[in-house]
Structure 1
């Protein structure tokens, strides 16, 4: 008995064989099926009997005849069609004949079309140019697609197109007559000889109506059809002001009056401005005929609308003149300007009417401002804070002059005494500080030992009005009023200025044109006396030098 031994040194018998149940191998992450190398009985297959040398000879075999050198065997770069032929379109001009049934005026109609051929994907689309007021659905007849050539499934190619041929698409024959310059250049570059271009045939219906036969009937001036064909889309536009000042909270509102010449109707539209606070209702009066003269009636009418039988005359273009005030439906409108078409129409048809625009810039302003009566000042808070309760429903802080605060961030300090009949107040000294950034004054009392009076803040920073000024138009103290020896009344307290900083004199001299000479002279004399007595004013401390006795 012969034994066949496997590769693992075990007999080839049931129970001694170990087969790999997986039939796939992996290469570069892809699963590939394993090709068998041996057959039944472990006999090698014929495909595996080729030695490696024979495989190399088959794969590396070179032809015996060469037509060029190896240096010239360069592979050209491949460019796909959607890149090379992108946005390249062939355009042909064609027409098709449409049969007209049940019409005594025409039997057929010539309808021109434009055929577009897209070279990138061999698709085509057919578009018919739109004709105004034709009554025929025109535009895109066939959307972009590959058009079938025959029943075998072939499609039209650019080689099949030429001038003078009939292109049958879905049982409609399109006769190609012309093409554009790019199409002609492309076809000739590809070796296709184009036929001679043909003229586009004239539609007999258009030719008949372009030169109508002579008629013996005289057309009426009030022919509705003739007026529609000649006056359609012709509108006279006037710019006017609606005078609504008689009503409560009324004003002069800008409006546009449009007169339609096709049917003598009038429409009034309101001109809206942003942030006007009005609802956007554009139409003040709908398009309608405006009666100018109404027939007198013997009995009162119970109908609100006026019929045609009750009207003697309607408004016409002769009634609209620039500079006059028209009363339309019990509303007054001042015509002040018109557009260029309206001016040309009046110069051509009504030369006797003068169309001279008016200047109404003052009347087109906002509401006529009425003077608001403010209540008297109640004494609580500053005047600006109390005024906000009258200007706004929810009070807002008064606006500050930021530019002035950045430019004049300085403080002028003075020394003052209290002008009082009480002998206890003679020794009290105060520091009065004037802030140039907001024109406010604060007063600080210097503490005095064994005086029995507590020093500190005497007045919070605030604006101090001059005595005798009205609350509606107050006049506040300024550096021009602070002269040495001057009396300053601060809320029923009288202070006499007795000294100042040297910085005060320097600042006032820099703006000497705005300061009275008496104020500057008093400061120079006071500071000059202090300097001779070797008692200069302190500049860096919070204290101000008191005058010498």
Structure 2
């Protein structure tokens, strides 16, 4: 007890040694310098709160750009965002992602304490609007910052220049080299990627209306992955709308050639085309190449030549448009002539409503694939061993399986039978001893099989017992190989032929009459 009390006293004294809990301390007063705290990570002048507590989740956000050479010799301007974290003096660089840009975008520089070009740690003194900053050999031109950054630095006595615009990106005036590699006007950094965005928008969502324009208010929780522009790209009623054409390429004239089917997708939002090889066709003896043409602008005429920038594909031929595609027409895809033989329902409705084509024009066309009618091997006759359904499994599979059972029918009719007393009908050539014989015929509702039992009779000259053991399958009617006897064929007075023996049903019992009423046959 003494030891526990002593320990409690020591703990209480240790807590009293701390004057104020840093986590519950109020924020630093306005005007308190933060430079010293950011430099040495200790308690700043005028405040007893650690810097990582005072400036938790606060960051300085800048819009910047850097220039890199393009594949065709021109220069590409890539916009990005630089964030400086006040809590620990770290920095990261992010580039907003652009669909189909072909660039490795996103996080360009992971968050850490970076080193400036002068060999010292990078601080917010190196990040000034209108001035370049070099980080690990790459020069970033800072063009703007958000309201929080400008207000924070004003309190620290740092005056920033007004926000400026980011220069235009690479304008792809023609396919040039990009067109030859399948990028077309959607080339990396191309005009089509940015044409729907606000021309004066920065990665921070800042709209610049001149050298003295003010920064649009944004939250400090801004994400560098936001889409370009304040309100995002302009909406297009054909966005995510794709016309699908089913095409065929006939290469049977060449040795080893075949008829290959493709799916051509035309994107209404930008006029690009992709060609995919149809799936679901196996064992063709061809290597699988799912994508014949990546999404790009398709030069008209089907040739390979690409003209100079600004001159269009093939010099002056232009590109394939939606008006060039029709059912029954031919589309040239870099030397391959694809015949359009059908479209999907959305495409058919689009051409009827938007282009005024008739349903007859959009009707599917027949394709001569040259396939021969498959010869079906005849089913061999049943050899009498086992059931016919079970024996047929050996003809359709190398490893036969048991025929499936109707579980619902089994649960409903298991144990239910129709029982009749029968005799051989009198006929020419029938002996009197056979006419006097009596039989009990049982019909099993669960599977339609039949059994015949002959009760023993003294001095009849016949051994009683099983006349016909329960069959493996329903008994077929005379002269038919498929139609079997059913429950409605079992009634008093009817004559059945079972294994070439004729039986006339003479009477039944009360249980059978009840079953017949339940089946609606009485």
1:246-325 matched pairs, under 5 angstroms: 254-257=261-264, 269-273=276-280, 281-283=287-289, 322-324=326-328
Q: Are the counterparts in 2 of residues 321 and 354 from structure 1 also a CA contact under 8 Å?
A: no
CA distance in 1, matches of 2:438, 2:390: 31
1:139-538 matched pairs, under 5 angstroms: 142-148=109-115, 155-156=121-122, 176-181=142-147, 183=149, 187=152, 192=156, 195=159, 198-200=162-164, 203=167, 238-240=245-247, 254-257=261-264, 269-273=276-280, 281-283=287-289, 322-324=326-328, 333-337=339-343, 356-359=361-364, 373-409=378-414, 410-419=416-425, 421-449=430-458, 451=460, 453-462=462-471, 463-469=474-480, 471=481, 474-512=482-520, 515=521, 520=522
Write out per-residue CA displacement over residues 111-163 of structure 1, whole angstroms, 9 at most, x where no aligned residue: 76532223454211234668999999987664432134798x96455688676
Q: Secondary structure at the match of 1:358?
A: coil
By how many angstroms is 1:478 displaced?
1.6
**TM-score when scaled to structure 2?**
0.53
Write out per-residue CA displacement over residues 328-369 of structure 1, whole angstroms, 9 at most, x where no aligned residue: 999994522279999999999xx89989532579999x9977
Between the two proteins, the alignment pairs up a number of residues equal to: 390
Which residue of the partner structure matches residue 33 of structure 2?
Answer: none
By how many angstroms is 1:500 displaced?
0.9
CA distance in 2, matches of 1:405, 1:111: 72
By how many angstroms is 1:389 displaced?
3.3
Q: Are the counterparts in 2 of residues 272 and 280 from structure 1 also a CA contact under 8 Å?
A: no
Q: Are the counterparts in 2 of residues 242 and 334 from structure 1 also a CA contact under 8 Å?
A: no
**TM-score when scaled to structure 1?**
0.51
Q: Secondary structure at the match of 2:423?
A: strand
Q: 2:82 is matched with which residue: 115, 131, 136?
A: 115
1:21-36 matched pairs, under 5 angstroms: none
CA distance in 2, matches of 1:146, 1:330: 55
Deviates more, 1:165-174 or 1:412-421: 165-174
1:123-134 matched pairs, under 5 angstroms: 123-127=90-94
Note closer, same or farther for the CA distance 1:318–1:378 as it changes in structure 2 (3 Å cut): same
Query: Which one has the largest radius of gyration?
Result: 1
Deviates more, 1:445-454 or 1:410-419: 445-454
Unaligned runs of 5+ in 1: 1-27, 29-58, 63-69, 211-218, 261-265, 294-312, 521-549
Unaligned runs of 5+ in 2: 4-9, 25-48, 193-241, 268-272, 304-316
Establish whether residue 93 from structure 1 lines up as the match of residue 62 from structure 2. Answer: yes
CA distance in 1, matches of 2:64, 2:322: 49
CA distance in 2, matches of 1:90, 1:181: 11
Q: Are the counterparts in 2 of residues 322 and 354 from structure 1 also a CA contact under 8 Å?
A: no
Q: Secondary structure at the match of 1:461?
A: coil
Higher relative contact order (CA 8 A, sep 6+): 2
Q: Are the counterparts in 2 of residues 91 and 114 from structure 1 also a CA contact under 8 Å?
A: no
Q: Secondary structure at the match of 2:470?
A: strand
Note closer, same or farther for the CA distance 1:122–1:398 as it changes in structure 2 (3 Å cut): same
